[in-house]
Amino acid sequence: MKYFGYALLVGLAFFLGVWLFRPPDCGTDCRPKFTSLAAAEFQYSLVSHPGTLLDIRTAEEYATGHLTDSQNIDYYQTDKFMAYLDSLNKQQPYYVYCRTGKRSALAIQQMRQKGFTDVTELSGGISAWQSAGLLVVK
């Protein structure tokens, strides 16, 4: 009987500890968001859920045309790219694109590993954007 009382106390302490120190209930907003969107949806998301737009192509590619208000950071300059990611607020929304979507898919994996929580990729890259007839600036 004595051991039953101890077991009951330990169980009660465990239950109270779990209940008192649980993470806040914030629904789906607590989960990291990593999405790949087609051009039209990507454009809509940029407007409805503003964030930082990253063009991860080379400077030469960027000069041929890019999305309005995008920041250029070359994915192929690995050390510079990683240092740039480290300087960003990982809780803010980010939109990433490249030429066809290959680099952006890799960049999203790296951003996930670095703790980013809200990253959206342009599926098919700027090529898909242009094929959809959407605006590119020089």
The CATH number of whichever domain residue 39 belongs to comes to: 3.40.250.10
Is residue 2, in this structure, part of any structural domain at all?
A: no
**What type of residue sits at position 63?**
A
Angle (CA) 48-54-58 rounded to 5° is 150
* Segment 32-61 mean pLDDT: 95
Contacts from 78-84 at CB under 8 Å and sequence distance 24+? Answer: 81/56, 81/107, 82/110
Query: Is pLDDT at 39 greater than 50 in this prediction?
Result: yes
Question: pLDDT band at 35, cuts 50/70/90?
Answer: very high
- For the chain, the domain total comes to 1
- Structural domain containing residue 99: 32-131
Please state, for a pLDDT cut of 90, what percent of the chain lies above it: 75
Query: Is pLDDT at 7 greater than 90 in this prediction?
Result: no
Q: What is the rounded distance in angstroms from the CA atom of residue 75 to the CA atom of residue 104?
A: 9
Is residue 138, in this structure, part of any structural domain at all?
A: no
Is residue 44, in this structure, part of any structural domain at all?
A: yes
Is residue 16, in this structure, part of any structural domain at all?
A: no
Check if the beta carbon of residue 119 is closer than 8 Å to that of residue 37: no
State the average pLDDT for the chain.
85
Question: pLDDT band at 135, cuts 50/70/90?
Answer: very high
81-114: burial string, b at 16+ Cβ within 10 Å, e else: beeebeeeeeeebbbbbbbebebbeebbeebeee
- Sheet-wide strand order for 94-97: 33-37, 118-122, 94-97, 52-55, 71-72
Is residue 100, in this structure, part of any structural domain at all?
A: yes
Is residue 82, in this structure, part of any structural domain at all?
A: yes
Q: What would the pLDDT profile of 9-21 be if each residue is shown by its tens digit? A: 444 444 434 444 4
Predicted pLDDT at 104: 97
Q: Specify the pTM.
A: 0.77
Please name the residue that has the structure tokens 């590619």: 61
